[in-house]
Structure 1
């Protein structure tokens, strides 16, 4: 299969140099908004063009707590195992990110944390792993606008085993801190400012960037924030314009085996037309731009 044949939101690429292949994860249920959750699929490729799959990476066992909104799986290699950070939802339970684990990138992944590691009283999504310069793991996630009107990006320390949060979350910034971000209106949730899809990236200069997404002029957009301290706690400043604003976002960065830096995101931002797209970037003195 080629990328334009794969319906997927929130794409995440895990390069595996030992195997010489790439693994592609994402929100792969045909209707992630209303239908009961099925699980997550993974695709595999040696050249980023032709993909084999789908392979079932996660299927919930009977009695699994979540019912729907199986969103945004990311898979990180950490201390010899593979950890999936994924968002789930159930009636009467706040949406949150749970951590799953497997011995290999194909899975099958099984619950590792006891339910979500995001706060139980907050509607949250899109948890991602960040390991700081001291080797301490953090989860960066979004507190949803549907609960607080102006969405925020937060961070919380994780246990060394990645099975629970340690301490209280810290707010890194809100959507309105970016001057370009504009509100959206939903028939069920009203009007508010969206924060989606955080992903931390350490530049060759040592600067720490954070990718995240919101909306500009009604279209999904991929943004970049910069830590003034070089740590996850910021303070964070925002690039004046999105990196990509053609109705695509929820991106992450990876290097292909030839060393090229690539942005993975989905576009357009409508179901069932969304597809994963890879865009080559240039990194110059801690700044990212689309390669011409």
Structure 2
């Protein structure tokens, strides 16, 4: 069935999204680019051999910690995940801030997660190859206020230390940056912890965090983030401090922050330093001002140089990346080829659905809770149209399936089909309402469509032939998606199935058409 997805009306400028595999870029003189467009906060990057590897926060979405590879820092391919299915036994949520460390042929990933029933911890996993598979070694440190943002760094003698932040802002306290020696296996801390510095400068606000270190011209430089990271009211920025010895004393640059907002990008921070061809870069996140929280914090590459005083400087002290204009190359046309879902699909970490792909169809096992079982993709832009065709006649009784814009399982807008009807579902703070119910004549398949403008205004329609569309009436209420994005994540677009355990829905395709 051919599905027409042209947008119904001219739309204004929007944010850009992400594709797990980006087409090769032409030769460029500038390296200031959006390289991980979409919701990829707290990015990390390292070079192993002739290949660069990157990862980012995945928060409450699985698979946990995507791994990308690149030969040129600009074009990235999603190749695996640190925890592709099974989560570490000790952890429950808040999978934040992964950081690579490569040593003696082994790759370590230091990361943050919340201990079941307890505090945030810095933990480590390791692998014989940067693409995995990874073996988890559990938490290294978990202070009473929480411990996050681990980074491994050798000192001036070659001894490897873990650098991390004590999460004091979670309980209205300061946020010291600590360092402590790692054991020979790199899987436990030994000796005593040393405080390097804390948030004591006005621009840093309630916190300093996201440390990334590099050694240059006899100094250790720590790039770090300060102030509020996320959401509409964020005021994140990036500072730098330096020291001759890893354990200090540390001197903060009097021109901090060195990377701050401009009219295009908001709240740049939490990045990792890398080099290529003698040039220096920070891979960090920022919100595109036009779309902000609806798309999420995107991964930017920003080049810096060293001034005469030996401090790093960014051009105009802000990200110089231009928003991508060729958004059509991030369109999605999923026909469910092969025998499994691609790496770009996600699901709530505590509710991995039962899926199978066969004969060009996705079979999604239903779940009775709230919106149901779901698989989703990061939203590519804040203005787009999405559609799916499902086997309507084969839906079991009292099983509903459809298409949704998902902030998280507790906040979503969806168009759902089942029991001979098409409905609009509104899920907010875990409370589900059916806003519209329309009976549909019996048919084998039905195509469901959602349109969104700027991440906020939603419209829904259905088709029984893939060409003529029946809009669902929404005059009596406002379909406003402003509430959808969580504090720390962008909106996903997904397929959902709600019903009794053992029932399932069958989808024939999944399509997204982006619009600037």
Q: Does 1:137 align with 2:164?
A: no
Q: Which residue of the partner structure matches residue 187 of structure 1? A: none
CA–CA distance in 1 between the matches of 2:182 and 2:176? 19
Give RMSD over aligned pairs: 2.1
Cα deviation for residue 60 of structure 1 reads 5.7
Structure 1 pair 38–271 and aligned structure 2 pair: CA distance change class (3 A): farther
CA–CA distance in 2 between the matches of 1:59 and 1:4? 19
Q: Which residue of the partner structure matches residue 417 of structure 2? A: none
Structure 2 unmatched ranges of 5 or more = 1-20, 23-34, 262-266, 317-516
For the 8 Å contact 2:82–2:132, the answer to whether it is kept is: yes
SS at match of 2:99: strand
Aligned length: 268
For the 8 Å contact 2:100–2:109, the answer to whether it is kept is: yes
Deviations 1:168-222 (A, max 9, x none): 322111112x24222xxxxxxxxxx12211111111x211111111128951111
Cα deviation for residue 266 of structure 1 reads 0.3
For the 8 Å contact 1:267–1:276, the answer to whether it is kept is: yes
Q: Does 1:22 align with 2:34?
A: no
SS at match of 1:160: coil
Q: How does 1:235-250 map to 2 (within 5 A)?
A: 235-240=249-254, 241-246=256-261, 247-250=267-270
Q: How does 1:107-256 map to 2 (within 5 A)?
A: 107-112=132-137, 115-144=138-167, 145-147=169-171, 149-176=173-200, 178-182=201-205, 193-203=206-216, 205-215=217-227, 218-227=234-243, 230-240=244-254, 241-246=256-261, 247-256=267-276
Q: What is the TM-score normalised by the length of structure 2?
A: 0.49
Q: Residue 89 of structure 2: which of 64, 70, 92 is its match? A: 64
Deviations 1:208-246 (A, max 9, x none): 11111112895111110122xx11221112112211111
Q: Which residue of the partner structure matches residue 306 of structure 2? A: 283
CA–CA distance in 1 between the matches of 2:116 and 2:214? 34
CA–CA distance in 1 between the matches of 2:294 and 2:245? 36
For the 8 Å contact 1:99–1:163, the answer to whether it is kept is: yes
Q: Which residue of the partner structure matches residue 8 of structure 1? A: 40
Cα deviation for residue 6 of structure 1 reads 3.9
CA–CA distance in 2 between the matches of 1:140 and 1:280? 24
Structure 1 pair 280–63 and aligned structure 2 pair: CA distance change class (3 A): closer
CA–CA distance in 2 between the matches of 1:13 and 1:201? 13
Structure 1 pair 36–10 and aligned structure 2 pair: CA distance change class (3 A): closer
CA–CA distance in 2 between the matches of 1:274 and 1:54? 21
CA–CA distance in 2 between the matches of 1:93 and 1:60? 22
Q: How does 1:84-99 map to 2 (within 5 A)?
A: 84-99=109-124
CA–CA distance in 2 between the matches of 1:105 and 1:173? 32
For the 8 Å contact 1:58–1:107, the answer to whether it is kept is: no
Cα deviation for residue 122 of structure 1 reads 4.1
SS at match of 2:129: coil
CA–CA distance in 1 between the matches of 2:143 and 2:306? 38
For the 8 Å contact 2:42–2:270, the answer to whether it is kept is: yes
Q: What is the TM-score normalised by the length of structure 1?
A: 0.85
CA–CA distance in 1 between the matches of 2:79 and 2:257? 32
Give the structure with higher Rg (CA): 2
CA–CA distance in 2 between the matches of 1:25 and 1:218? 23
Structure 1 pair 64–271 and aligned structure 2 pair: CA distance change class (3 A): farther
For the 8 Å contact 2:110–2:122, the answer to whether it is kept is: yes
| Stretches of 4+ aligned residues off by more than 6 angstroms | none
Structure 1 unmatched ranges of 5 or more = 183-192
For the 8 Å contact 1:86–1:99, the answer to whether it is kept is: yes
Structure 1 pair 62–265 and aligned structure 2 pair: CA distance change class (3 A): closer
CA–CA distance in 1 between the matches of 2:181 and 2:45? 24
Q: How does 1:248-267 map to 2 (within 5 A)?
A: 248-256=268-276, 258-267=277-286
Structure 1 pair 62–261 and aligned structure 2 pair: CA distance change class (3 A): closer
